[in-house]
Structures are given as C-alpha cells and as structure tokens.
C-alpha cells in the first residue's frame, strides 16, 4: 500500500454522517482540516492534487461536500465538481475571495461557501455543517 492509497482512504468520525472530499496540496493544512472535520463527525476522503481529486469525483457517489483549497483555475474546479456532483456543497478556500464570490454569483451557485486560505479548521467544519444542514 502506497502513501497515495492511504491518503485516499476515508477516515470516519461517525457522528455527522456526511462524507467530504478534501483537495489540498499542502499536507499540513490538509491534516489540520481533516482532524477538525473528523472531530465534528465527518467522513473525510483526502486528495493531494486537483487531478487526483477530480479522479475521485468520478469514482465516488457518497460525497456530500467537496473542499477545494486554492484551485489553480477556480472556474474549472467548480465546473468539474458540479459535473460529477451537481447537488454537493462546495467549500472554496482561496486567498482571493472576491474572485470566488464573482464566480459563484455568475453561476448562480448557492451551494458554495467561500473561506480564506489557510482556513481556521474548526471554523471551516462548523460552517460546512451549517451549510449541509441548510439543504
């Protein structure tokens, strides 16, 4: 089993019931966010790259939300996510929230939550839980 295989296995906190795909190149941030999500009952599937994350989008039907951390092309990342998961909640972590807000408005994206990068992990978990409860 490779490190990539380990990162793709879900880790389950058990209480929330929601499954989240976390796509983040930064291992430290990914680990902190994963821990916070697990502490709040989310099942987390991690991807170290956008390419791997988009591969997982096409292979998993259990995802309730996707967290995209600083995608290279936010409009493409949103489009790819919606192609596979039209009803999933999306969290876009970016250092340029005004760009993300413009994309969301143009697309009529009400399932999008935009937060600054790097995130405060427990705030992200709280906001995602609220977004999922609002559906």
Residue range 75-105, pLDDT digits in tens: 889 889 989 998 889 999 988 766 656 665 5
pLDDT of residue 15: 57
Instruction: Output b/e per residue, 94-130; b: 16+ Cβ within 10 A.
Output: beeeeebeebbeeeebebbbbbebbbebeebbeebbe
Alpha-carbon Rg for the chain, nearest whole angstrom, is: 13
Q: What is the pTM of this model?
A: 0.84
Mean of the per-residue pLDDT values of the chain? 83
Rounded distance between C-alpha atoms, residue 66 and residue 20, angstroms:
6
The single-letter DSSP state of residue 119 is -
**Phi and psi of 124, rounded to 5°?**
-60, -45
Residue 113 has pLDDT above 90, yes or no: no
User: Which residues does residue 90 pair with via DSSP β-bridges, in sequence order?
Assistant: 66, 112
CATH number of 3-133: 3.40.50.2300
Rounded distance between C-alpha atoms, residue 46 and residue 24, angstroms:
8
Q: Is 63 helix (H, G, I), strand (E, B) or coil?
A: coil
Section 4-28 average pLDDT? 71
pLDDT of residue 87: 87
């Amino acid at each position: 089993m490779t490190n990539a295989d380990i990162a793709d296995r879900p880790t389950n906190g058990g209480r929330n019931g929601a499954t989240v795909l976390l796509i983040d190149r930064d291992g430290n941030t990914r680990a902190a966010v994963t821990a916070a999500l697990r502490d709040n009952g989310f099942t987390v599937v991690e991807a170290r790259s956008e390419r791997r994350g988009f591969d997982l989008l096409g292979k998993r039907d259990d995802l309730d939300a996707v967290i995209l951390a600083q995608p290279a092309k936010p409009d493409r990342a949103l489009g790819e996510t919606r192609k596979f998961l039209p009803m999933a909640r999306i969290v876009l972590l970016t250092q340029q929230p005004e760009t993300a807000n413009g994309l969301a408005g143009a697309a009529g994206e009400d399932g999008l939550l935009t937060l600054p990068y790097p995130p405060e992990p427990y705030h992200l978990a709280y906001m995602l839980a609220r977004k999922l409860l609002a559906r």
